[in-house]
A and B are shown apart, each in its own frame.
Chain A
Amino acid sequence: MRSQKTRWLIYGLLFIAIIISYSITIQLKVTPSPFVKKTFEYMEHLPPQSVIIISFDHEASSLPEIKPIAQIMLRHVFRQNIRVIGMSLFAEGTAIGYDMLTKAAREFGKTYGEDYLFLGFKPQYISAILGMGESIRRIFPEDYLGNRVDSIPLMKNIDNYNSIAMVISIADGDRAVQWIEYAGARYDQKVIAGLTAAMITTYDPYLNSGQLYSLVGGLRGAAEYESLYGKLGGGNRGLLAQSVAHFFIIILIIVGNIIYFKNRMQSKGMK
């Protein structure tokens, strides 16, 4: 019963701390990490009209953390006049991906079918990733809006990873790992991941081995990218709340240990 009360106290305090931090505006200083810089530099130097795939491999649940990453990267690629093929390996990522891609494209006055395209969702991610290495139009004969892929100007001369400069997987789980392990290992496709903070360490081995080209992780990654791009957005807004939550957990750990040692000393004294 006591542990349940403690649990609810922790939940309540964390809730209040986050609500307060979201309601105040403080601009935090962020220094871009090497991998965010590497991603940004890659996009800066990619020749205009290059084609990249952005796969929205996430669900609606992680949107508060994923959206700032996706938005800033989409803005950047459209500013660089890079052409984008959008898709999703999650049913839920489909509607979100289409929405974010279309809104970002409209901001930059891009034309559907020429500058960007959304292929939609494909289940069975492994077979979809592998199949696209053989033929994209075989896996996606039609786009999300029901147009024949063959008739779309952007897809002229593009049929597999050979014509794709980069795959960016915006993921909240290990779907980007599948891109690395299947598109990367089998078809030498370069992959960048945009990830939730909780997933970053999972990708460290791939990053160190060079199998993953680079990554942008969590709200901090989004905020760093925003600072490089020169326009602040959702990443910066969420960063304060995240920092407060981290501090709260640090305090909890310290308090937990103080209580633990106090109890231990008391029980030793009793003995």
Chain B
Amino acid sequence: MAGKSLLFLILIMLLFTNLSFSSDGTPQNSSWFDINTLATLIVSLIFAAIIIYSIQSASKGKGIQIREIPGLKAIDDALGRATEMGAPVLFTPGWGGDVQRPTTIASMNILSTVAEKTAEYDCRLIYPTHDPVIMAVAQEVIKESCIKSGYPDRYRAEDVFYISSSQFGYAAAVDGIISRTKPASIFLLGTFEAESLIMAETGNSVGAIQIAGTDSTIQLAFFIVACDYTLIGEELFAASGYLTQNKSILASVRAQDIMKILIALFIVIAIIWATIDPKSAWWKF
């Protein structure tokens, strides 16, 4: 499936690129292909090829090991604690994202695991959100997780709800829920902005175990101070592979590392080049 998709993608791109040049090879003004985006296209195709190749080769080869991520390893402890205390678990995707954002999708992957375990342990899971679409998707994910764990009756639709699209309206409501229900464990995973510390500090004040992760570099600093575990940057995106041990997903995480090495190499070469020849600009695109 993945190999065929890549072939399909490259064929379309070739056709697309071809249409953008006139017969003498000069770029056309209203062409199908905007020549200014050529560098982006080449880099995108290289990266797409790396991801698809990694996924294909992983399905044939041995399993891939990724390093331990303490925040994800602590999920079991956090849920176990909630079960022992008979207190609920609260999961928030933050206020900043919408459903198409990769961070939200990554957060849904962790939600799926958390929901499966809370259903198994018969622990209440509260999921307040700021976006009606996220609410609908989360309801489906949690419902499915309850079915997977063998306890479909433990799904509580009223615990997955939309509050407000207003940032601090949402933060105030979540703070209120934390103060009243005193959850034993809080998951702050998704896109966060200024509300991050308001929620994390409230969670800290009720003594909850807090596992956080976001793609916002500035909020990471707040989470590191106020939470017990923090998933930094790409750890959040690697979570679904780590939790499910799905070969294809783990392979895409490995592809991510290969791309990172390529970028690092490019940066080193560009630095050396720019130092030797300060007028050079080939590396700017």
CB distance from B214 to the nearest CB of A (A): 11
CB distance from B118 to the nearest CB of A (A): 28
Q: Is A46 an interface residue (CB 8 A)?
A: no
> In the complex, are the beta carbons of A7 and B216 less than 8 A apart?
no
Q: Is B266 an interface residue (CB 8 A)?
A: no
Chain A positions 84 through 109: 1 when the CB is less than 8 Å from some CB of chain B, otherwise 0? 00000001100000000000000000
Residues of the B chain whose Cβ atoms lie less than 8 Å from the Cβ of A91: 165-166
> In the complex, are the beta carbons of B166 and A7 less than 8 A apart?
no
> In the complex, are the beta carbons of B166 and A201 less than 8 A apart?
no
Residues of the B chain whose Cβ atoms lie less than 8 Å from the Cβ of A62: 194
Q: Is A173 an interface residue (CB 8 A)?
A: yes
Q: CB-nearest residue of chain B relative to A4? A: B205
* 6 further contact pairs, Cβ within 8 A, besides A4-B205, A59-B168, A124-B98: A61-B168, A91-B166, A92-B166, A174-B193, A199-B194, A201-B217
CB distance from B88 to the nearest CB of A (A): 21
Closest 10 CB pairs of A and B: A61-B168, A173-B193, A202-B218, A59-B167, A201-B218, A198-B194, A92-B166, A59-B166, A61-B167, A173-B96
Within 8 A of A (CB), among B215-248: 216-218
Residues of the A chain whose Cβ atoms lie less than 8 Å from the Cβ of B218: 198-199, 201-202
> In the complex, are the beta carbons of B194 and A172 less than 8 A apart?
yes
Q: How far is the CA of A239 from the CA of B87 in the complex (A)?
A: 44
Within 8 A of A (CB), among B164-193: 165-168, 193
Residues of the B chain whose Cβ atoms lie less than 8 Å from the Cβ of A173: 96, 167, 193-194
CB distance from B21 to the nearest CB of A (A): 22
CB distance from B159 to the nearest CB of A (A): 26
Please list 11 pairs of residues, one from A and one from B, whose beta carbons are closer than 8 Å in the complex, sorted by A's number.
Answer: A59-B167, A59-B168, A61-B168, A92-B166, A124-B98, A172-B193, A173-B193, A174-B96, A199-B194, A201-B218, A202-B216
CB distance from B232 to the nearest CB of A (A): 16
Q: Is A189 an interface residue (CB 8 A)?
A: no
Residues of the B chain whose Cβ atoms lie less than 8 Å from the Cβ of A199: 194, 218
Which of A92, A173, A202 has its CB near the most chain B CB atoms (within 10 A)? Answer: A173
Q: How far is the CA of A192 from the CA of B184 in the complex (A)?
A: 43
What residues of chain A have their CB less than 8 Å away from a CB belonging to chain B? 4, 7, 59, 61-62, 91-92, 124, 172-174, 196, 198-199, 201-202
Q: How far is the CA of A202 from the CA of B96 in the complex (A)?
A: 14
Residues of the A chain whose Cβ atoms lie less than 8 Å from the Cβ of B98: 124
Residues of the B chain whose Cβ atoms lie less than 8 Å from the Cβ of A124: 98
> In the complex, are the beta carbons of B168 and A7 less than 8 A apart?
no
> In the complex, are the beta carbons of B216 and A174 less than 8 A apart?
yes
Q: How far is the CA of A91 from the CA of B164 in the complex (A)?
A: 11
Residues of the A chain whose Cβ atoms lie less than 8 Å from the Cβ of B193: 172-174
Q: CB-nearest residue of chain A relative to B168? A: A61
CB distance from A258 to the nearest CB of B (A): 19
CB distance from A211 to the nearest CB of B (A): 13
Residues of the B chain whose Cβ atoms lie less than 8 Å from the Cβ of A201: 217-218
Residues of the A chain whose Cβ atoms lie less than 8 Å from the Cβ of B165: 91
CB distance from A179 to the nearest CB of B (A): 15
Q: How far is the CA of A68 from the CA of B96 in the complex (A)?
A: 24
Q: CB-nearest residue of chain B relative to A202? A: B218
Residues of the B chain whose Cβ atoms lie less than 8 Å from the Cβ of A7: 205
Residues of the B chain whose Cβ atoms lie less than 8 Å from the Cβ of A196: 194
Residues of the A chain whose Cβ atoms lie less than 8 Å from the Cβ of B216: 174, 202
Q: How far is the CA of A202 from the CA of B168 in the complex (A)?
A: 20
CB distance from B266 to the nearest CB of A (A): 15
Q: How far is the CA of A7 from the CA of B218 in the complex (A)?
A: 23
Q: How far is the CA of A152 from the CA of B17 in the complex (A)?
A: 41
CB distance from A10 to the nearest CB of B (A): 11
